[in-house]
Amino acid sequence: MGAKNTSGKRPASAVEKSANDTSQYAWDITERTNAQEAVLNILEDLQEAKVFLETSIASFHNIVAKSIDGIVVVDKTGIVQFTNPAAETFLEHQAKELAGQLFGFPLKADQITEIDIIRYNKEPGTAEMRVVETLWNDQPAWLALLRDVTDRKETEEKLKEMMKIKSEFTAIVSHELRTPLTSIKEGIALVLDGLAGDINGEQAELLGIAKKNVDRLARLINDILDFQKLDSRMMKFNFETNNINEIVKDVYKTMVSSAKKAELDIILELDNSLPKCSFDSDKITQVLTNLVVNAMKFTKRGNITIKTGRSSNSIRVSVSDTGCGIKKGNMSKIFNKFEQLDCSGERKTGGTGLGLAISREIIEQHNGTIWVESKFGKGSIFTFTLPVCDTEGLLKKYINNGIKKASKNNTKMSLILISFADFDKLKQEFSNNEINSTLKDMEAVLENNLHRAENKPPRAVDNVFKLRNEIFVVLADCDKENALRAKSRLEQVLNNYLSDKNLADKIKILWGCAAYPDDAAADEDLVRKARELQLTIPSGVSV
């Protein structure tokens, strides 16, 4: 016919002529035909879209209808707008009964609530309900999803029940085994101690054997129960920050006399610059004692050396002996339960065989490692590690947390830095230990005085850190003015401490105070600024 009319506008003068009109004009109906075609296209598109939409809706509807989790939409006034078939089953009502009614369960976004439901098998059960915010017909509404967790809860209950039975069993066993043992032990002891009349040498010897074995039985029961507790993670540890060298010295004191009797020397090689770490003193003492007892058992002559040291992130303790060592083939078994060896490599009796197994459990539950190096005929070295308290990392974390909170809430945080003036001169006059001990005292004094107001406890967000030879005081949510006030109060407290110890003329303290965001925006810069300002704030000046 001709090219499509693209101009769009119909000439104002266009008029149609009827079919009988045979005048000479043939009107150009290209435009009209094109328009009609366009409309037909649009109608076709609309039809296609309608089909697509209906199929889509049907598909999604299918998903919602077939879901075994219940789906409920509730408007913000608490009225049910939609329920799927699963929800109908759970809530024991049909959709049309539920629509327009109050939902009745508490609705809080992102919370999980447990509700009672009727399961598919018509039995009562429990469902977990998760609620999220959504839109329904463009209005804010709640979407509640209900999941049947009845089976899971049953399993959880059974597990709790079994744990309870296990711990009751442990308690009963310990009681029932130890009670008759008490009478046996005391009965023998009374006769051996001569309290039932004099006894002759042979009687003493026989009773001595009985006593030794009663004690061994008692230890065995203790070890088994210990191991049972450790194994099921029921052992409670009492973690406290401590110096491992103290533990070593205590064990030495306990073992030195029996070592002397066995003609063995215990040598201590302790690293005195070790940082503190967090551990259960009693349990670690138990481990170290076990290692020393083993060393003594397997060493006929020579020394037992206990060494402490540091390696990157951990503290290392090793017990080495000049004993008979361990055969290569037995090395992998040595930490196993009930594994006992003697110097000929044969199975030995006399111990419980649980000492190293228990020690390994204790060390591993401290997040440490324990291992042995040995040469058969030469000796063994048992080593264990304990993770160190990372003060520097902790300090950085606290400062950064303070900065984050301050920037979020548009407030400030402050850092006070306390150092010794003329530190090199100080090191000449005092030993490392003396300086360290003074710093620890100062840290304690500052911690005790960190409260903001009279009779108010210190805030958990403020903290004192002793790092190397300085002390950092982190004051969260505190502007410079208040920090300087705190600083002058703490200064008074510290000066009192120094004069009480007669150190006031020997030790001069430098104070620096920097605030975020005024002085710096990052943790390192804050520390650096505080250090710079140490030289500008004269001691004793209060704000």
- The answer to whether residue 190 forms part of the interface with another protein (CB under 8 A) is yes
* CB 401, CB 475: distance < 8 Å: no
Q: Answer yes or no: are the C-beta atoms of 513 and 415 closer than 8 Å.
A: yes
Helices 150-192 and 201-231: angle between axes, nearest 10 degrees:
170
E-assigned strand segments in 177-276: 240-242, 264-269
Nearest to another protein of 173, 503 (CB atom): 173
Closer residue to another protein (CB): 286 or 436: 286
Tell which one of 178, 327, 459, 508 touches another protein (CB under 8 A): 178
Q: For residue 363, with 0-12 CB atoms within 10 Å meaning exposed, 13-18 middle and 19 or more buried, which class applies?
A: buried
- 221 or 343: whose CB is closer to another protein? 221
Q: With CB under 8 A as the rule, give the number of residues binding another protein.
A: 26
Least distance in Å: CB of 352 to another protein?
16
Torsion of CA 499, 503, 506, 507, to 10 degrees: -80
Is 186 near another protein (CB under 8 A)? yes
Closest separation in Å from C-beta 181 to another protein: 5
Which residues neighbour 40 within 8 Å (Cβ) at sequence distance 6 or greater? none
**Residues 196-215 contacting another protein, CB under 8 A:** 214
Return the axis-axis angle of helices 201-231 and 355-365, rounded to nearest 10°.
30
Task: Tell me which of 193, 263, 392, 434 binds another protein, using CB under 8 A.
Answer: 193
Residue 183 binds another protein, judged by CB under 8 A? yes
Query: What Cα–Cα distance (Å) separates residue 172 from each residue in 168, 176, 179, 204?
Result: 6, 6, 11, 34
Long-range contacts of 326-334 (CB under 8 A, 24+ apart): 326/372, 326/374, 326/376, 326/380, 327/376, 328/376, 331/372, 331/374, 334/372
Of 175 and 456, nearer to another protein (C-beta) is 175
> Is residue 23 involved in binding another protein (CB under 8 A)?
no
Site string for another protein, 144-163 (x = CB under 8 A): --------------------
**Which residues 236-265 are close enough to bind another protein by CB under 8 A?**
236
Q: Which is nearer to another protein, 181 or 207 (CB)?
A: 181
Choose the stretch contacting another protein; rule: CB under 8 A; options: 32-40, 229-237, 301-309, 350-358: 229-237
In a 13 Å sphere around the CA of 198, the CA atoms on its Cβ side amount to: 2
Q: Which is nearer to another protein, 218 or 461 (CB)?
A: 218
In 10 A of CB 240, how many CB atoms?
10
Is 315:369 a contact under the CB 8 Å cutoff? no
Q: Any contact of residue 195 with another protein (CB under 8 A)?
A: yes
Q: Considering the rule CB under 8 A, would residue 495 count as an interface residue with another protein?
A: no
- Does 175 bind another protein (CB under 8 A)? Our answer is yes
Our CB check for another protein shows the closer of 178 and 489 to be 178
The C-alpha atoms of residue 225 and residue 533 are separated, in whole angstroms, by: 59
Number of neighbours of residue 533 by Cβ within 10 angstroms: 17
Taking the complex as a whole, the smallest distance from the CB of residue 180 to another protein amounts, in Å, to 8
Q: Is 171 a residue that touches another protein (CB under 8 A)?
A: yes
Question: What is the closest distance, in whole angstroms, from the C-beta atom of residue 179 to another protein in the complex?
Answer: 5
233 binding another protein? (CB under 8 A): no
Stretches 63-71, 96-104, 188-196, 198-206: which one binds another protein (CB under 8 A)? 188-196
* Cβ pair 70, 146 in contact under 8 A: yes
Residues engaged in binding another protein (CB under 8 A): 170-171, 174-187, 189-190, 193, 195, 214, 218, 225, 229, 235-236
